[in-house]
Amino acid sequence: MSPSRDRGGSGGPDGARRSPGPYYQTGTFAVGGRLLDEGERAVQADEGRANAITKGHRACQGCGEALGARYALDAAMRATGGRLIAANATGCLEVFTTPYPESSWQLPWIHSLFANAPAVATGVAAALRAKGRSDVRVVGQGGDGGTVDIGLACLSGMFERGDDVLYICYDNQGYMNTGVQRSAATPPAARTATTEPLGEHPGNAFGQGKSAPLIAMAHEIPYVATATVADLRDLEAKVTRAMGLHGPRYVHVLVPCPLGWGSAPAETILIARLATESGLFPVFEALDGRIVGVSTIRRRVPVEEYLRRQRRFAHLFEGDGRPDVVAHLQALADRNIERFRLIAADDGTGDARASGGADARADADIDLLDALAAGERGP
């Protein structure tokens, strides 16, 4: 290798792939760094970041949603020069930021009902169009309950009509602020208040639930992506890319919930990382219904490493445990890895890292229709 390498990664600003920061200490995934140029740092490294959700909010210790929402909206605020309006569904995010009369929001923000955030966002966009304000952009946002279950009809309508809204779903896999009930995004075998760990099939049932990102792709809208709070640069790149497009766009962000998942507050980012590194949560990006990029796994882990850190899966490991259920979850992860090509083809180490990303991006040309034709179900 050339001795004059001073840029560790292959990541570029356009990347939907996992991109290490170009070079502090030859390749780091950290937020910023004193040796990086401004443009090479994450939005979150900026002292002048929008802080769309400011301090004093009432989210739990280590809340992934508070983090994910700030990451996403700060990136959107930068992309729009601060000209942004948010419509919010009912849910944790709405509750912990706006106990009347206080607000954590540092952008114009509107809440109406649980089910109608996409429709409200549509209305805001229509009002702006009517006023001739093409400079102001709109995001709709909600949790997985408000998006995948209750608001799905409004969301589908927004997609179908072609409204100029970016909708962001913060997926913590359940109804958390009402006491951790199951949603259609709750993973199989997970304990919730409504899926008790009892009987032969403890926790949430296998074979149910739905993938909102794949549903969104089926609308063939301009942009769909998944992301997690474990890969800030990837999330920021996707939101930035989405704000560069018009029409309906959808970003689905995995945000671990220490309360509902029974994980340590300090491990929120670690848990999200393990979700992707195990293959349980595929991180990808699609244009016009076609997957154009995936984040390859850097250091593959068995699903058990992810599951054991969460009390919602504790029943799988108590006493004799349920190795059959763990194996079933592992099979789901393996299928994701195969289906979304989450391991770079030419890498036998299981450590795709920076070099794998670019190749994988070109390589991963998975058509949703192929996937559906093969009889696949959502993750």
Partner 1 sequence: MSAGERPYAITLDIGSSRANRTGDWRTERPVYVRRMPPCNHACPAGEDIQAWLYEAESGGDGYERAWRALVASNPLPAVMGRVCYHPCETACNRVQIDEAVGINSVERFLGDEAIRAGWELPRPAPPTGRRVLVVGAGPSGLSVAYQLALRGHHVTVREQAPKPGGMMRYGIPAYRLPREVLDAEVERILALGVQLECSERIEDLGAAMREGAYEATFLAVGAHVARHTEIPGGTATRVIDAISLLHELEEGEPPQLGRRVVVYGGGDTALDAARSAQRLGATEPIVVYRRTRERMPAHATELREAEQEGIAFQWLSTIAAADGEELTIERMRLDEHGYPQPTGEYEQLDADTVVLALGQDADLELLQGLDGIEVEDHVVKVDERMMTGCPGVFAGGDMTPADRMVAVAIGHGARAARCIDGWLRDVPARPEPEVELAGFDQINPWYFTDAPRTVQPLLESVRRQTTFEEVVTGLDEGSALFEARRCLSCGNCFSCDNCYGVCPDDAVIKPGPDGAPYAFDLDYCKGCGICASECPCGAIEMVPEEI
Binding site for partner 1 (CB under 8 A): 1, 3-6, 8-9, 20, 23-35, 41-42, 44-45, 47, 51, 53-59, 61-64, 66-67, 70, 97, 99-104, 232, 258, 264-270, 273, 298-299, 351, 353-354
Question: Smaller CB distance to partner 1: residue 347 or 376?
Answer: 347
Tokens at 64, concatenated? 């992934």
CB count within 10 Å of CB 165 equals: 30
What is the per-residue DSSP string for 135-175? T-EEEEEEEHIIIIITTHHHHHHHHHHT-S-EEEEEE-SSB
Q: Which is nearer to partner 1, 9 or 174 (CB)?
A: 9
* CB closer to partner 1 out of 3 and 375: 3
Smallest distance from the beta carbon of 301 to partner 1, in angstroms? 11
Q: Are 243 and 166 in contact (CB under 8 A)?
A: yes
We find the least distance from the C-beta atom of residue 104 to partner 1, in angstroms, to be 4
For the bound state, the minimum distance from the C-beta of residue 345 to partner 1, rounded and expressed in Å, comes to 18
- Residue number, 37 or 47, with CB nearest to partner 1: 47
Q: How far is the CB of 273 from partner 1 (least distance, A)?
A: 7
Q: For the CB of residue 149, give the shortest distance to partner 1 in the complex, in Å.
A: 25
- Compare residues 34 and 131 and give the one whose CB is closer to partner 1: 34
CA distances 272 to 65, 277, 289, 299, 309, Å, are 12, 9, 25, 14, 11
Report yes or no: 86 and 141 within 8 Å, Cβ to Cβ. Answer: yes
Q: By C-beta, is 99 or 244 nearer to partner 1?
A: 99
Give the nearest distance from C-beta 3 to partner 1 in angstroms: 4
Residue among 30 and 366 whose Cβ is closer to partner 1: 30
Q: Residue 34 and residue 12: Cα distance in Å, rounded?
A: 19
Closest approach, Cβ 236 to partner 1, in A, equals 10
Phi, psi of 218 (to 5 degrees): -65, -20
178-184-187-190 Cα dihedral, nearest 10 degrees: 40
Name the DSSP letter for residue 187: P
Contact by Cβ (8 Å): 224, 250: yes
Which among 339, 223, 237, 239 is positioned nearest to 281, based on CA atoms? 339
Crossing angle between the packed helical segments 64-79 and 268-277, to the nearest 10 degrees: 80
Helical H segments across 244-352, by residue range: 258-261, 268-277, 303-307, 323-339
SS3 287: strand
Instruction: Please state the closest distance from residue 46 (CB atom) to partner 1, in A.
Output: 9
> From the CB of 234, what's the least distance to partner 1, in Å?
13
Query: Are 269 and 255 in contact, with CB atoms under 8 Å apart?
Result: no
Nearer to partner 1, 29 or 313 (CB): 29
Nearer to partner 1, 33 or 157 (CB): 33
3-class SS at 267?
A: helix
